[in-house]
Structure 1
Amino acid sequence: MTDLALPEAGDSLRADTLGVRRFRQILLWPLQLMPQAEGVQIQRHWERMGDGGEGNPWREVADEFAGDAQEFRERHYAEFVNFLPYVQRVLYGTGKGITDRADGAGVDSALRVFRRTDVRGVRITLERRSAPVELGVAHVDLYFFFDLDVVIPVVEIVGADLDLATAQDILFRFGRAYPPSWEADGRGAHCPWLVEWLGADGDVLARSDYEARAKYLDFVREHRTPTVAAHWEWLLRPMVQHHSNELGTVRYRQLEYHRLPTMAYLALDDIDALTRADWVRLGLVAPPGDSGVLPYSEQHLADFEQRHCFDRYFEPGCGKRWMNTRLMCSGHSFVMVGRGTEERFVDVESGLQGQFRHQYFLVFLLTHVQKAALLMLSDRLVVALSHLDIQRVETIRHFKRDIRQTLEIFLRFNHRYWFHEISNQVQLRDLYRMLTSHLGSGVLFEEVRDEVKDMGQYLESDTLRRQANTVVRLTVVTMFGLIGTVLTGVFGMNLFDFPGIPWLVQVLLFALVAVAVTALLFYTLAKSKALADFLDAVSDTRLPVRAKFKAFFDVWTRP
């Protein structure tokens, strides 16, 4: 792929004069869910979402296949058939009558979706003295995944008639879980000045607190993990942060850093006016700037088109011959840009805007689910290892149980959620590969698999070592018990004339002999390791007799 001819700086419009006719941004936030019951592998966290009481705003959403037949539209069909069968089974389940189950019932989808409808808009103040921008909220969802302790909140905002610079700034600033640092004026670095969730009547439901530096500093100092901004914390309730002091049955912790993965859809009035610097800012979700100046060095961006752009349907200067759509991804972002005058691009049912919200969204969701699950499994292995104390038997027992459970979860993840291909359609196939490559999921998968193998080999070797020790101890007991066996065999079983003794004395003697034999057995077991060393010394022809006697006395003198 060669670099396409784009307008030069002198021939282009400034970003604050380019119009964005339609704008969408979808934020995904992979979070790890903490186990609710110890020793249970499959934690059905979604079942607890209905336990939040009357104030719980989340309600489970039935998929289109289980809902009203009149609501099943052509776009649902197109979305379904674009994926390969094993991906379809994960996303949509299987229908009735096509399973091997005795009752003939189908298998549900691995996804559970919950939605809240009280948040209808968002007001974003980008700068301290700038006018706020009000956008609509199309969806606020929670995606749970069967057999994975992962949840992904999804927020979709929509706007119209924005200038390009404002759209770029929203993409860059809005998806921040917490501030990475603070500016001199007290605002959170790279964060909006203020974010407010709005209800149906325009009332403010929650607002951000990026400027509350003391809150974030104190939380990290106390819990050694960052806290999230107030408006995000409010949005996720009744789920609560794992390290907070709030009560909640569904507790989450962060898996990655403060910048949330984002998808963006922009329908522009004049796509041909974008410069290479504009494309780089959109593709890498960089802050707005001069359209004639690249946001990063030329050397760093030398392979931008090859690594980040899907240009199968993009040809600058083609006029009206093509729809002229460009898709860009960088792992943490996926951006679709096209002409706002093209009906095929802006149609929300059969056009690319509809595909962006459904097919491309699912591709983006699957790639981030895979990475989140791998990070979750890796974290579990680290936590299990950190709790291991080889001097304490109970920690060894818990460690083995946790590792075995993680091994089983990884095996099921590998066969249910890990795909090398998800579609035969060119766009979905190639974009899935690009996203997976940028996220480094393949490398992470190999690392986690190697860690799991190492842990499994450790458990196997430890089991074999314990079995070998048990065999050695039993062998020692058998060998020393052989002395008594030979003696009784030579002199007969009845060395004493028991029939001539009263039965009460016989019972007493039986009890005493049983106690003595049992004590001798356990004493031999206690000394079995030292006795095994003594037997090794006796069988070693290279040792002198003195060394063999020393090994015998070491049975009692060596600690």
Structure 2
Amino acid sequence: MTDAAARCPRVSHFREILLWPLQLMPLRADSQIQNHWQVLEQSQAQHPWREVDDEFTGDPAGFQERHYGEFVTFLPHVRRFLYGDGKGRVSKPAESPIRVFRRNDVKRVRCTFADPQRPVLVLEVAHVDLYFFYDLDVTVLTIELYGSDLDLQVVQDLMFRFGRAYPVYWEADGSGGHCLQRVEWLAADGSVLAASDYEDRGRFLRHVCEYRAPTEAAHWDFILRPLVQHHSDAGGVLRYRQLEYHRMPVMGYLAIDGDPRQLSRNDFMRLTFVTPPGPPERAPYCGAEADGFEARHCYDRFWHTAPDATPGGRYLCCGEAFMMVGSAQSPYFYTPGASLLEQFRHQYFLLFLIPHLHKAALFMMADRLGYWLKQLDIHDPESVKRFKREIRRIKEIFLRFTHRYWFRQLSDQYQARELYRMQREFLGTEALYTEVRERIEDMNIYLDSDSLRRQANTVVRLTVVTAFGLIGTTVTGFFGMNLLGFDGLSPAGKALYFLGVLAATTWVTFYTVMKSKRLSDFLDLLSDEREPFWRKIAALLKVWR
């Protein structure tokens, strides 16, 4: 063992939670609310996904203290989103808008690194979940992994390479750039359920060339089934589109064997930004990111640097990643089934999930705006009507999202409030929300102004028809309705005269409407006392050009 390896800290317990937000394509074009999870409920024999029971409405004997601690962390309006409404004297219980489905066939994952010096790593899979949200065409895949007694550099390399949907380039040996050499999902008996294919460069290139969209690696495709990628020829009712970067947001929990303060500042930076391992004396970044690292990315309220004090816990955040680092010897930080480990898996998971849900939902609505604008053909009346209908539908969805899911504050607990604020600032959800709202309002204002313009044009045309029809009405009124005598005509003759007058009147009315714009211009010029008489005559003659 080299001196560097001997000095490298060990991680007694490691947890990693990956989140992958995806956009779900509508099941029905005529409905705003798409309950995609119902497809999973109705086809349970064809897939391993099963809905997770709500722990808050089950047997009170199974309701644990950690459930209570999770519940009281959040403000009442956030609790209604997370857990629904409870029983009341005047209202019925309301379900949470969150539906969670879990598959239990994947028990472990085997990770093979491109570096032959790295050992093959087998981690336990705690759970694989799909989160669905009522009235949002978004789902979030979450995968929780854990392992014990790992080298810190192995942990850093794993987090850097594992959560990648597809490679962005390929190494000289053909392996996927920044990806693991091989990822294998294992069943309880150790059999391989699916394996990655990052090295299949031709498949990734062909898919982008044909569909103008990247495709995910084979092991991610397996995990998501029966969901299938929208930009593909795969058959399936539940179809999804990728929303964000190929690198999935990640949470990490590291219980260090010994004093976590032995980690260098550069090691903390690598954990924060999820970069590959490197020498402790070499920083992964320079410049402003390195200079303001502690102030911007570290929450050190419970991090004690005095040698005679317990180290406590350090929270690291950059938006796309959230890390908790502490000592495995501290019962407060690491006790299986209790301590900060359970808070990491539940309270902090929700603090990380919600802002990423916000970002995904806003991306989804922005994508829809762009899609329907692309479908608009201003020369096709049906296309214009469809565009108006869809824009108003998106505005209604945005309003419901605002009142049901959009939270500027989740908790009054100082720590939870500050960590949520850091997440929002790094992800830029406030600016994204404002941008999407302004884009929807701009389109809605345009549609309203266009409707008012059309109504005004209709009023002008009707006014012109009424003005010129007033001439005939006045003349017939002056002479009376008996100007022509039809007493001696037979009923058939009277009917013939009626049809003739009806046809002539209809033709004159329609012709007046056809010329109403020019007639309107003529009336405007006629009412202008400053215009000479010859210009008014010219305007009248222009009507019949």
Fold conserved (TM > 0.5)?
Answer: yes
Q: Distance in 1 between matches of 2:126 and 2:342?
A: 13
Structure 2 match to 1:522: 510
1:86 aligns with 2:77: yes
Matched residue SS, 1:542: coil
Structure 2 match to 1:149: 137
1:305 aligns with 2:294: yes
Residue 299 of structure 1 and its aligned partner are, at CA, apart by 4.2
1:506 aligns with 2:520: no
Matched residue SS, 2:530: coil
Matched residue SS, 1:48: helix
1:389-468 map, 5 Å: 389-468=377-456
Structure 2 match to 1:25: 16
Count of residue pairs brought into register by the alignment: 541
Q: Distance in 2 between matches of 1:503 and 1:475?
A: 36
1:74 aligns with 2:61: no
Q: Distance in 2 between matches of 1:396 and 1:348?
A: 60
Contact 2:304 2:311 in 1 (8 A): no
- CA RMSD after TM alignment: 1.5
Q: Distance in 1 between matches of 2:287 and 2:401?
A: 41
Q: What amino acid is the match of 1:435?
A: Q
Structure 2 match to 1:136: 124
Moved more, 105-114 or 68-77: 68-77
Structure 1 pair 397–387 and aligned structure 2 pair: CA distance change class (3 A): same
Residue 13 of structure 1 and its aligned partner are, at CA, apart by 6.7
Q: Distance in 2 between matches of 1:98 and 1:509?
A: 74
Q: What amino acid is the match of 1:430?
A: E
Q: What amino acid is the match of 1:398?
A: R
Q: Distance in 1 between matches of 2:64 and 2:161?
A: 35
Q: Distance in 1 between matches of 2:8 and 2:373?
A: 56
1:38 aligns with 2:29: yes
Q: Distance in 2 between matches of 1:15 and 1:258?
A: 34
1:277 aligns with 2:266: yes
Residue 522 of structure 1 and its aligned partner are, at CA, apart by 1.6
Structure 2 match to 1:56: 47
Residue 117 of structure 1 and its aligned partner are, at CA, apart by 0.3
Deviation string, structure 1 residues 324-379 (Cα, Å, up to 9, x no partner): 10001100000000000112211244310000000000010001000111111111
Residue 524 of structure 1 and its aligned partner are, at CA, apart by 1.5
Structure 1 match to 2:114: 127
Q: What amino acid is the match of 1:282?
A: L
Q: Distance in 2 between matches of 1:16 and 1:153?
A: 37
1:47-446 map, 5 Å: 47-52=38-43, 54-97=45-88, 104-127=91-114, 129=116, 130-270=118-258, 271-319=260-308, 321-446=309-434
Contact 1:22 1:268 in 2 (8 A): yes
Q: Distance in 2 between matches of 1:172 and 1:140?
A: 20
Structure 2 match to 1:471: 459
Q: Distance in 1 between matches of 2:73 and 2:421?
A: 16
Structure-1-length-normalised TM-score:
0.94
User: Percent identical across equivalent pairs?
Assistant: 53
Q: What amino acid is the match of 1:305?
A: E
Residue 323 of structure 1 and its aligned partner are, at CA, apart by 5.0
Contact 1:113 1:142 in 2 (8 A): yes
Q: What amino acid is the match of 1:120?
A: K
Structure-2-length-normalised TM-score:
0.97
Q: Distance in 1 between matches of 2:528 and 2:336?
A: 84
Structure 1 match to 2:479: 491
Q: What amino acid is the match of 1:541?
A: E
Residue 538 of structure 1 and its aligned partner are, at CA, apart by 1.5
Q: Distance in 2 between matches of 1:450 and 1:268?
A: 47
Q: What amino acid is the match of 1:314?
A: W
Q: Distance in 1 between matches of 2:190 and 2:320?
A: 31
Residue 315 of structure 1 and its aligned partner are, at CA, apart by 1.4
Residue 16 of structure 1 and its aligned partner are, at CA, apart by 6.9
Contact 1:94 1:106 in 2 (8 A): yes
Q: What amino acid is the match of 1:108?
A: E
Matched residue SS, 1:420: coil
Contact 2:21 2:357 in 1 (8 A): yes
Residue 316 of structure 1 and its aligned partner are, at CA, apart by 2.2
Matched residue SS, 1:29: strand
Q: What amino acid is the match of 1:42?
A: I
Q: What amino acid is the match of 1:417?
A: Y
